[in-house]
Amino acid sequence: MNTRALNPGGLVVPTFDGDALARLLLRYGIGPAEQAAIRAFGRMVDVDVLAAGLAERFAHVGEGGGAPLDAFCASLARLAEWDFSATWLRELVRRWLECYLAGAVAEFPFLATEALLGECQAQLLGERSTAHRLELDIQMALVRLGFCLGGVLAEATVEQEQAFRICAEDADPVLGIPNRRRFLGLLTEYLKCVGEGDVLGLVLVTADWGFAADVLALDEQDCLRLALSDAMRAALRPRDVLCALGNAEWAVILPDLRSSAQVSLAAYKLVDACDAARSNAFPALRGRFCAGGSWAPEHARNVLDLERTARMAVNVARRSGQLFDVYCPDVTRRADRDAHFETEVARAFEARQFRLYLQPQVVLPSRRPVGAEALLRWTDSEGRAVSPGRVLRVFERLGLMADLSRWVIQQAAQSLAALDAAGCELRISANLVAEDLQDPELPLFIRQTCETWRISPSRLCFELTEGGLVSSEGMSVRTLEALKGGGGRLALDDFGTGYSSMDYLRRLPVDELKIDKSFVERIVQSASDRSIVELMVRIAHAFGLEVVAEGVENEETESMLVAMGCDCAQGYLYASAMPVDVFIDWWRDAVRQEDSPPSG
């Protein structure tokens, strides 16, 4: 029993090659004389009668009934016809394992051996109490055969249990195909076999459902995964290996390819098969499938690198909106740069290397300072200033936006304390994101921060984008009302660039509206932009809101805003963002200029 085969039904059946069978018989003392005695027994009994007798004995010990047991009894009775080849023994083990899967106890092989010996003796001697020499020889041979069969069946039971454990560890419990652990082992084995001129392909397939699949019941999600897996299996060659890496990700190992072009062909077939399966099984469900491919040895020679190259390709396909992309070295270099930048940003945040700069906001037309917007600034390890937008995209990918918002709030409160110490009683505006509006603890955190730095919450203004309000509308109103009730000021930021629903201005407790600089900077050259900005000012005033124009860079733009009735402005015309100590000096100069009598 030195080799095993896993049948489609999940049975581990030994192959019993010639040498293994000979060693098995020798181990239990079944030599030529014993084999001859067993053959003689076969000529003395009726196989059908022996099978019926075994079934009756099993019934007496509580193991009777059922098709698997009947088939096992019939197979066991054929020992009388055994020619000592492996065929009958393999069939007997298979019948026993079917009984085991049907619920037979693990000790059943020993009950079967006892029943076999008892029935053989009954068939051999009948009612007689004495036996002839030949009959004694036959009985001794049958005893040895019984021990042999009991040992074989018991060992098969152990190997079957081991196979179950391996299957549970190495297979997806729903799909029954190799899981990630088994995938890594299989890919390792296939890579070892890649020789000169060989091509081993790897394709990763992902499904992007958004929130659509989350509302499905668990059984429906399982049915969806099964439908997709079955469709992909049908699209592959028999020797290709489909593995499940996650709930919405599969890997396909493509061995023995004649050309790397077959990787692209297989990937497109897989994506088309998934889309067709989704349409048939869940027509109302919308999602997107994409794939990425690479191959050995050209792209990688070890498991992790080959998977990494395929994953880079699928990420490129996802970002570019393509169905499939193949790995290229440029992807690696770009991915390495992005990964290095993400790591540097995360470490800089942990080390508190970011700084909060303040850009003044002034009242029109007097240009009297009324507040400042807190803006993030960071210089990387090579001394280069990094754009805030690029940094914020990293925070979004890393899921750190909420942490960043709390840090900004703390820094803004600390800056307000520094302004107070200098006699500067201005307000500071800080940006909030969608995740912040879903945090019920945010108002308490803000109140505790203000108490720590001994500042009034009314000195803080929280800027909210329209997109953030839409994506978290369920929590938005409650959180905003709590912020407003705590004394904070609220502003709707980048107005006109998002959804621009008038309903927001009616329902939300905002105090000011900020017009995005993309409109403001073109009002001199564009009549349409000028009309849009003027309309925004009128709408805001109709709702009792203060208007702040962003991106004011020249006096002509300022004059037009004043004529429209815009309340406040912010931009390079007045000052760029600066550290707190520099801002205090700028504020002092602005106050002195305001207090100085006009010349002449």
Q: Cα angle at 514 between 375 and 462, to 5 degrees?
A: 55
Query: Residue 274's pLDDT is what?
Result: 93
Of 327, 351, 378, which closes a domain? 327
Residue 32 has, within 13 A of its CA and on its CB side, a CA count of 0
CATH of the domain at 314: 3.30.70.270
461 with 488: CB under 8 angstroms?
Answer: yes
pLDDT recorded at residue 61? 53
Q: How confident is the model at residue 210 (pLDDT cuts 50, 70, 90)?
A: low
Cα separation of 208 and 161, whole Å?
37
d(CA 550, CA 497): 13
Task: Give yes or no: residues 312 and 349 share one domain.
Answer: no
- pLDDT score recorded for residue 452: 95
505, 586: one domain: yes
- As a whole number of angstroms, the distance between CA 160 and CA 163 comes to 5
Question: Structure tokens of 534?
Answer: 């003027």
Q: Check which CATH number belongs to the domain holding 498 and give it.
A: 3.20.20.450
Please report where in the chains the tokens 């055994």 appear, as a residue.
82
Whether the Cβ atoms of residue 159 and residue 12 lie closer than 8 Å to each other:
yes
**Does one domain contain both 24 and 149?**
yes
Average pLDDT, the chain: 86
In the predicted model, what is the mean pLDDT of residues 415-444?
Answer: 92
Q: What is the 3-state secondary structure (H, E, C) of 515-583?
A: ECHHHHCCCCCCHHHHHHHHHHHHHHHHCCCEEEEECCCCHHHHHHHHHHCCCEEECCCCCCCECHHHH
Please check whether residues 250 and 205 belong to one and the same domain: yes
The answer to whether residue 390 is domain-embedded is yes
- How many Å apart are CA 386 and CA 408, to the nearest integer? 17
Distances, alpha carbon 399 to alpha carbons 115, 350, 374, 388, 403, in Å = 67, 14, 21, 16, 9
Question: How many folded domains does the chain comprise?
Answer: 3
Tokens of 555: 């006096």
**121, 137, 170: which is the final residue of a domain?**
170
Kindly tell me if the per-residue pLDDT of 342 is higher than 60.
yes
- Label residue 496 left, alpha or beta by phi (over 0 means left) and psi (-120 to 50 means alpha): left
For residues 584 and 418, the answer to whether their CB atoms sit within 8 Å is yes
Q: Tell me: the pLDDT tens digits for 390-409?
A: 999 899 888 899 999 999 99
User: For 89-98, what is each residue's pLDDT tens digit?
Assistant: 888 888 888 8
Contacts of 536 (CB under 8 A, 6+ apart): 495, 496, 513, 515, 519, 547
Domain that residue 288 falls in: 180-327
User: Do residue 135 and residue 250 come from a single domain?
Assistant: no
125 falls within a domain? yes
Q: Note whether 247 and 232 are within 8 A (CB).
A: no
Which residue type is seen at 134? L
Angle between helices 555-564 and 527-542 (to 10 degrees): 40
Residue 88's nearest CA partner among 96, 104, 121 is: 96
Task: Give the domain-ending residue among 274, 296, 327.
Answer: 327
| 306 and 347 share one domain | no
In a domain, residue 334? The reply is no
Task: Give yes or no: residues 439 and 579 share one domain.
Answer: yes
Decide if pLDDT at 335 tops 70: yes
Residue 209 and residue 157 share a domain: no
Could you tell me if 252 and 387 lie in one domain?
Answer: no
Location of structure tokens 């203000």: 450
Confidence of residue 271 (pLDDT cuts 50, 70, 90): very high
Is 1's pLDDT higher than 50?
Answer: no
Assigned token pair, 465? 């984008």
Contacts of 192 (CB under 8 A, 6+ apart): none
Cβ contact 41:64 at 8 Å:
no
Q: Sign of the C-alpha dihedral, residues 522, 524, 526, 529? A: positive
CATH number of the domain that residue 95 is part of: 1.10.490
Question: Does 422 lie in the same domain as 296?
Answer: no
480-512 per-position pLDDT tens digit: 888 888 888 999 887 766 555 566 777 788 899
- The tokens for 277 are 């399966």
**438 and 493, same domain (yes or no):** yes
Q: Which DSSP string corresponds to 445-506?
A: HHHHHHHHHT--GGGEEEEEEHHHHHHTHHHHHHHHHHHHHTT-EEEEEEETSS---HHHHH
Check residues 47 and 232 and name the one with the higher pLDDT.
Answer: 232
The residue among 576 and 597 whose pLDDT is bigger is 576
Confidence of residue 10 (pLDDT cuts 50, 70, 90): low
**Same-domain check for residues 52 and 135:** yes
Highest mean pLDDT among 277-291, 489-503, 537-551, 583-597: 537-551
Global confidence as pTM: 0.58
How many helices (H) and strands (E) the chain has is answered by 23, 16
Give domain status of residue 227, yes or no.
yes
